[in-house]
Amino acid sequence: MQRLYRKRIVLGVGGGIAAYKSAELVRRLRDQGAEVRVVMTRGGREFITPLTLQALSGHPVHLDLLDPAAEAAMGHIELAKWADLVLIAPATADIMARLTQGVADDLLSTLVLATDAQVALAPAMNQAMWRDAATQVNAQALQTRGYHLFGPAAGSQACGDVGLGRMLEADELAQRAADCFQRQALTGKHVLITAGPTQENIDPVRYITNHSSGKMGFALAEAAVEAGAKVTLVTGPVHLPTPDRVNRIDVVSARDMLAACEAAMPCDLLIASAAVADYRPEVVATQKMKKDPNSGDGLLLQLVRNPDILATIAGREDRPFSVGFAAETENLLDYAARKLKDKNLDLIVANDVANPTIGFNSEENAITVIDRELQASAFAQTSKSKIARQLVAFIAERLNRA
């Protein structure tokens, strides 16, 4: 059920005896990697305490529509925007009736009207209430509007009756919730992405670096999340916001980046888009270097080679599917093909950084991807976000074939 990984689920708890199952449902959803926020109606609070659900979800429970503290933090509109799925379990006959009529007189009903996320209901009520014509009309109307109905199940009820009306068990509800999300190209995969430049210190105030902005790597991280992946983004010094649901690790030097990548292993896919410094000063001065009047107009720096991050990870026994980047100013495809072979890569992305419209710091890119058979696939110039989505789809197709 990796489809629930990092999915955001608002669990609405209505006022029915089946609310005791909601606690187990929170656990099952979280076991599958979902982040859960709980909203309780007044009736729901009569059957199970907010403290129980807060402890299980790891977040404060949302209770009232007009709660100044909640509105100052994550108010009902923000909560509606946050959700990937709103699951109401138990969904009483009263909740179903109010949603059918579009009533918004408490936090849960208001949130449902305000969200663009999928909405699912797990009906729970007496068998006679479920069979009632009004409830059946409401259930059909809600399904017509695109709401999911999970159940109800048949069996003995708390009142002693037997029939349809029992809320489904937590395991089945978690499975039904997962079924709301289509399996995506990278669902269940751990993707490690490197981005940005590295900095190699000369002294406490100076360093060697390059012009990489990190925009391509960050766009790739966002696209990989959209494709269902768990994403670890190891980035050099950049001024970019962290993409939603991405585990970001900030580093400075090439050696720092290699250590962070090795710590993030194992992974299924490595996309190495960082512009890593090939060399670093052999000796880093402990104090700011001063101009030497006796040295003339020159300064000699002795450089040593940095570790090759891409070749190191691609050479491991537990190597992931490895994708490198070749940022070149000449002989683009020849140099990229050589790098593909030398570093034992599965794919390499060639990027002409001599072209200012697609080079470092630009908002657009155009790339050519070369595989192990030296077959080249060109991607026309467009925004880096669109290129990232196209590239992630291409890589995922090759990865899933491997």
Domains in the chain and their CATH numbers?
2-179 (3.40.50.1950), 190-286+295-401 (3.40.50.10300)
**What pLDDT is stored for residue 70 in this prediction?**
53
CB 316 within 8 A of CB 353: no
Over residues 263-271, the mean pLDDT reads 97
**What is the three-class DSSP state of 35?**
strand
Give the span between the Cα atoms of 141 and 99, in whole angstroms.
10
**Tokens 């009483």 found at:** 92
| pLDDT of res. 298 | 76
If you average pLDDT over residues 223-237, what whole number do you get? 94
Query: pLDDT by residue (tens digit) across 63-72?
Result: 887 666 554 4
> What pLDDT score was predicted for residue 357?
86
pLDDT of 72 = 47
Query: What local confidence, expressed as pLDDT, does residue 68 receive?
Result: 60
pLDDT of residue 155: 82
Query: What is the DSSP code string of 104-153?
Result: --SHHHHHHHH--SEEEEEE---HHHHHSHHHHHHHHHHHHTT-EE--PE
List, for residues 72-82, the tens digit of each pLDDT value: 445 667 888 88
Range of weakest confidence among 45-49, 215-219, 282-286, 381-385: 381-385
Of the candidate ranges 168-172, 182-186, 201-205, 309-313, the one whose mean pLDDT is the lowest: 182-186
- Among the listed residues 387, 341, 346, the one whose alpha carbon sits nearest the alpha carbon of residue 368: 387
Q: What was the pLDDT predicted at 164?
A: 87
DSSP state of 3: G
**How is residue 96 written in tokens?**
């179903």
pLDDT of residue 134: 96
**What pLDDT was estimated at residue 362?**
86
Tell me the pLDDT band of 259, cut-offs 50, 70 and 90: very high
Average pLDDT of span 257-272 = 97
Coil vs helix vs strand at 377 = strand
Rg (CA), the chain: 27
For residue 222, the tally of other CB atoms under 10 A from its CB is 21
Mention every residue, 6+ apart, whose C-beta is less than 8 A from residue 193.
217, 220, 221, 224, 231, 232, 233, 234, 270, 271, 272, 273
Mean pLDDT in residue range 125-145 = 94
Residue 3 has pLDDT above 80, yes or no: no
Residue labelled with tokens 């994708």: 323
Residue 255 pLDDT greater than 80, yes or no: yes
Region 184-197 average pLDDT: 93
Task: Tell me the pTM.
Answer: 0.73
Instruction: Tell me the catalytic residues.
Output: 159
Determine the average pLDDT of the residues in 308-312.
95
Give the DSSP H or E segment for 85: strand 85-91
118 CB-contact burial (10 Å; exposed 0-12 / middle 13-18 / buried 19+): middle
Structure tokens at 144: 């017509």
